[in-house]
């Protein structure tokens, strides 16, 4: 029985300041690796799954360091594509007090940004796979990255794989002319499992989300309203068997209500 889970996306170098400092404060920065799909792959590997992570990395020390990081967690990286000028980065300010977290992306002309359609041999990657996981972030990076994702989705569907879509809408990334709704909506037509927060579901579906105003654990959601909402979602995305929505109300930077 096939058990391999394939995730596809960009691994990034995350640079942040210690002790809640702003980016313009202090003289030290902390380096770590991030990226939604890489985080997903590592989490699944922690749980004992057979996971392959697919991305594109530059030659040289930075690309090798990222590969070593992935291998530390037992990930299969045998189909990682090499090339491009640089590793993508982002700068992160951690939330504190009444200040929200803040992210500045520096991904333009990264190895993943300059990925060309056809570089990834999806036939080989998916030959022994059971699950394919993708994200709206990957589709936002560039047109070729989006089209590579769609190539994988079409092939995964033809092979009968379970397809998992993380909506993962990041408005600051979309810059190559395609509308986020149109692309993500198309991704979700192939998907068996979809997850995202209430705002991401709204972007993907075009249907306004139900307000979530919980201030404590005594709040009761309107179950009938959500059942009706997801009946609409099933009409829009008939292939999808499982739909997960995270509900969040931010009371302060470090105090959120979630369900």
Q: The domain that contains 143 carries what CATH number?
A: 3.40.1190.20
For residue 225, being part of any structural domain is answered with no
pLDDT digits (tens, 9 = 90+) for 12-36: 999 999 999 999 999 999 999 999 9
pLDDT value of position 40:
97
User: Which pLDDT band, with edges at 50, 70 and 90, does 100 fall under?
Assistant: confident
Alpha-carbon torsion (229, 158, 117, 59), positive or negative = positive
pLDDT digits (tens, 9 = 90+) for 122-163: 999 999 999 999 999 999 999 999 999 999 999 999 999 999
pLDDT at 99 over 90: no
Count of domains for the chain: 1
For residue 255, being part of any structural domain is answered with no
Q: How far is the C-alpha of 64 from the C-alpha of 68, rounded, in Å?
A: 6
Q: How far is the C-alpha of 25 from the C-alpha of 29, rounded, in Å?
A: 10
pTM: 0.94
Helix (H) or strand (E) holding 66: helix 61-72
For residue 115, being part of any structural domain is answered with yes
pLDDT digits (tens, 9 = 90+) for 51-67: 999 999 999 999 999 99
Range of the domain at 22: 4-200
């Amino acid at each position: 029985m096939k058990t391999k889970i394939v995730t596809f996306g960009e691994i990034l170098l995350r640079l942040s300041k210690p002790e809640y400092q702003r980016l313009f404060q202090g003289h030290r920065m902390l380096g770590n690796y991030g990226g939604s799909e890489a985080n997903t792959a590592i989490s699944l590997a922690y749980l004992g799954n057979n996971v392959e992570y697919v991305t594109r990395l530059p030659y040289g020390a930075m690309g090798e360091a990222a590969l070593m990081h992935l291998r530390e967690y037992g990930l299969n990286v045998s189909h990682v594509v090499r090339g491009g000028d640089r590793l993508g980065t982002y700068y992160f300010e951690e939330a504190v007090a009444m200040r929200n977290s803040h992210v500045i992306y520096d991904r333009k002309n990264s190895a993943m940004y300059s990925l060309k359609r056809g570089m990834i041999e999806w036939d080989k990657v998916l030959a022994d796979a059971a699950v394919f996981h993708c994200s709206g972030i990957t589709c936002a990076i560039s047109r070729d990255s989006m089209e590579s994702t769609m190539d994988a989705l079409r092939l995964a569907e033809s092979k009968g794989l379970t397809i998992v879509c993380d909506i993962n809408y990041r408005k600051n990334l979309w810059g190559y002319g395609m509308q986020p709704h149109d692309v993500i909506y198309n991704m979700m037509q192939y998907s068996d499992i979809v997850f995202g927060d209430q705002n991401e579901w709204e972007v993907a579906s075009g249907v306004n989300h139900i307000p979530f105003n919980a201030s404590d654990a005594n709040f009761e959601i309107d179950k009938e309203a959500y059942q009706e909402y997801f009946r609409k979602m099933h009409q829009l995305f008939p292939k999808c068997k499982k739909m997960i929505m995270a509900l969040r109300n931010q009371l302060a930077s470090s105090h959120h209500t979630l369900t």
